[in-house]
Amino acid sequence: MSAELSREPVEPPKPDPTASKNREAMQVLLKDTHSVDLCFTFSSDKSYSNAGLWAHRSILSRYKPLADLIQKSTSSALRYGQTRSKASSVGDNHISYADLCSAGEHDSSTQTDDIQERASGDSSVLTIVVEKFSLATFCVLLRFVYTGEINLSADTNMHAISSTESSLVLKTIAGKTREYIRWNPLDVDSPWKFKDVTWGELLLAASFYGVTELQTQCEDALITGLDATNAVEVLFSIGCNFDKVKNAAMDFIVDKMASMVLGDKEPFASYKDHPDAFGFLVELMRRRVAKELTTADAASSTSK
């Protein structure tokens, strides 16, 4: 009986409908402008320095580096808020209701339904400035954090993105504040279009923010994509910080070195001033010699 059972074809596992529903729910949450409570701005991304990318503190706090960043920023914001509250009676940071209405009339030529009112107070939004990575890279990172999906072509329709220049704050008669945020109209004419993110850019972001599952997948993708045209670049741009990528790139270069330096080719010329250039070249030569000795020993053993 057991032998017969062992010969029966094994059915592939059926898709988990719960996992699919959870992914769909997270996709909705990722772009839900009503529940987001954290806004990232991008000081180093000159093309999108006026853009805000929104998320949820509770989702990102699953990763310790992000949780620490949120906690640090929250503490700083509280200290800053206490200082500002003493001067808030001056009203220099608020606009009148008349000003708000006139601003709405002024923008009547645009889509007016993309302005959303958000109550602020104890649960006010937190803004964090990202200095190392682009808006597009962060979009791809967030999509993975929420859904587990990787798409190097950032789709703005999947995210809550606003224009930081259009944020208005109103102080009501009761002393409460409300924020009016203009969300970017994500249609065919939207200016928010990005270049594809590279695996290297995404790897650096994943490592920096402690998204280890994504880091592993980025490393594997870089290694799988190694070829004669990019191996040296990957070695010097990524391998200097990630040993797994470095070792794979070096092994590839050692295997293909004869063709890579054939004729007048100089694949290392662009990196002669790189701080790791000397060490990398020495290690490559050692690996090349070790491979040749191994090959010679194997050939000798075969001939005996």
- The closest of 144, 142, 93 to 120, measured between CA atoms, is 93
- Pull the structure tokens for residue 32: 């839900």
The DSSP secondary structure of 66-94, one letter per residue, reads HHHHHHHHHHHHHHHHHHHHTTGGG-TT-
For the chain, the structural domain boundaries read 17-198, 225-303
pLDDT on residue 46: 82
| CB 128 within 8 Å of CB 195 | no
For residue 218, pLDDT over 60 is answered with yes
| Residues paired with 126 in a beta bridge | 38
DSSP 190: -
Percentage of the chain lying above the pLDDT 70 cut: 67
Query: Where is pLDDT greater, at 286 or 20?
Result: 286
Give the confidence band of 19 by pLDDT, cuts at 50, 70, 90: low
3 residue type, one letter = A
CATH match for 225-303 among 1.25.40, 2.60.120, 1.10.3110, 1.20.1530:
1.25.40
| CB 163 within 8 Å of CB 148 | no
Element (H, E) at 52: strand 51-55
Angle at 276 between CA 275 and CA 277, to 5 degrees: 95
| CB 39 within 8 Å of CB 127 | yes
Whose tokens are 């107070």? That residue is 121
Query: Where is pLDDT greater, at 68 or 107?
Result: 68
Task: Give the span between the Cα atoms of 110 and 131, in whole angstroms.
Answer: 31
Query: Where is pLDDT greater, at 223 or 98?
Result: 223
For residue 168, pLDDT over 60 is answered with no
Other residues' Cβ atoms within 10 Å of the Cβ of residue 113: 8
Q: Indicate the SS3 state at residue 63.
A: coil
The sign one gets for the Cα dihedral 72, 75, 78, 82 is: negative
Query: Where is pLDDT greater, at 69 or 177?
Result: 69
pLDDT in tens, 41-58: 998 888 888 888 999 999
Q: Indicate the SS3 state at residue 161.
A: strand
Give the confidence band of 179 by pLDDT, cuts at 50, 70, 90: low
Query: Where is pLDDT greater, at 304 or 101?
Result: 304
Average of per-residue pLDDT values in the chain: 77
| CB 140 within 8 Å of CB 150 | yes
